[in-house]
Amino acid sequence: MAAVLALRGITKRFGTLVANKSISLDLQPGEVLALLGENGAGKSTLMSILFGHYVADEGDIEVFGRPLAPGNPKAALAAGIGMVHQHFTLADNLSVLDNVMMGTESLWQPFSRRAAARARLLEVAQRFGLPVVPEARVGNLSVGERQRVEILKALVRDARILILDEPTAVLTPQESEALFETLAQMVAQGLSIIFISHKLGEVLRVSHRVAVLRGGALVAEARTGDTTEAQLAQWMVGHAVEQAARRPAERVGDAVCVLDHVRTAGSGHDRLEEVSLTLRAGEITAIAGVSGNGQVALAELLCGTRRASAGSVRLMGRELPPAPARLVQRGVARIPEDRHAVGVVGDLPVWENAVSERLRSRAFSRFLWVRRGLAKAHAKAVERAFDVRGGGLESPARALSGGNMQKLILGRALLAPASTPAQKRIPRLIVAHQPTWGLDIGAVAYVQQQLIAARDAGAAVLLISDDLDEVLTLGDRVAVMHGGRLGEPRAPAAWTREAIGLAMAGSAS
């Protein structure tokens, strides 16, 4: 059959960086093509060229046998290409119908054709098994329902080629299953799908064929049935990847941090409601849950950037101070959710970011003067110990890839200065909030191994993650957060995927 999409010799340069190197790909009718690659492999650039956000320096694209005008998103939409981004682009204060209609009518149109648009929305929703209530306010929908609206936005515009970017990243297991059933219906009705994901098990399940990018080049193509997760991982990173394995804690120590009926102020679910939790030395306590159910409030509370409005939080028997600098001094290692906005200062060089949390300590300053030699020596040690690769200590942190930026944050949090007494070199408490979010499989394995090593060295680790596989692999105890409330932690073996998915959705397990 003739390809519905053909990319031929696509090359894109940004200065001296070649983001895409003569990539040629086809997409067949009714096919799910999985697109894999490390962070920085060129996936986003290639999809941006396809959707008209970038113009290729070389090569061309055909959609249903016709040339696609470069650099024109409207032309891509008119050709039948739709894209559902990992981070939803919906207006929470508007209805489902308003969000779907947005951008479909001219500003000069004398009146809105809402009745026809509503009928069209319901017809498409029924055809593809995506039930929605057109008048429902988007801000009141679950994450899975919001994703349904994003998909319908594309389908109502007659998309016949759908690009899904990390579509299950924030879904419960039940919501993921529902999505897979929807994809099957789409394919059965002739739609073609490009499926971008770091979850290799899902890739093998839903796709017919896989294409792997590395270093901007297409390095492998194969039918999904002819490959394995290990082979895909090796193609992605260029070598075999050792996955973090389930290994229970051997020596669980005393309580390091105790939360007792803690409440915090906040809007919606971004707050804590009567949360009690004990974090012990030598143990990883993992928190599962759909994003937006109080995880941010919990992480900020333990990192010193949010206060408790009721209850108590004690670290090593003393009240937890709401001051990040003091917490770092008392042995709290912080790995924030947003590495770009919170984890690093992008315009500062790597060496300053490596010591930023301890810059005022005696290890790196004296009489308000920064001891640059000692600071750079420590930054070099972080770079070496955590394999941070980039432009060197003087390059700005924003130039690092996502994986290397996360390694820099890990090194800053976990590697104490050489002048630190031996008994204080291991953090007392590690707060790891989405530590592998958006990372490729090689970087994920590295980060997870470092957290396990810190636990084995005696640290208490709080892991907050939307990735259920990560939670069940790393957690010695697993609890679920929903609506600002935290369930009772259990051993991973005590959870089934169905039970944890129901708890994430707020139902009894």
Position 256 scores a pLDDT of 95
> Taking Cα atoms as reference points, which of 51, 53, 84 lies closest to residue 61?
51
Whether 368 has a pLDDT exceeding 90, the answer reads no
| Mean pLDDT value across residues 452-475 | 92
Q: Work out the number of other CB atoms within 10 angstroms of the CB of residue 506.
A: 15
Q: Tens digit of pLDDT for each residue in 378-411?
A: 999 999 988 887 778 998 998 887 778 888 999 9
Site of tokens 């229970």: 248
Enter the pTM of the model.
Answer: 0.75
> Taking Cα atoms as reference points, which of 327, 261, 268 lies closest to residue 295?
268
| Mean pLDDT value across residues 143-150 | 84
In the chain, % helix, strand, coil (3-state, to 5) comes to 35, 25, 40
Site of tokens 């470069």: 70
Mean pLDDT (the chain, rounded): 89
Do the beta carbons of residue 68 and residue 53 sit within 8 Å? no
Our measurement of the distance from residue 177's CA atom to the centroid of its chain's CA atoms, rounded to an integer in Å, reads 19
Q: Tens digit of pLDDT for each residue in 316-345?
A: 999 988 888 889 989 999 999 888 878 899
CA–CA separation, 489 and 509 (whole Å): 13
Position 267 scores a pLDDT of 65
Name the pLDDT band for 168 (thresholds 50, 70, 90): confident
Position 268 scores a pLDDT of 60
Residues above pLDDT 90, as percent of the chain: 51
Structural domains of the chain ordered from first start = 5-237 (3.40.50.300), 242-331+427-509 (3.40.50.300), 343-423 (no CATH)
DSSP 494: G
Do the beta carbons of residue 167 and residue 179 sit within 8 Å? yes
Q: Work out the number of other CB atoms within 10 angstroms of the CB of residue 125.
A: 22
Do the beta carbons of residue 35 and residue 398 sit within 8 Å? no
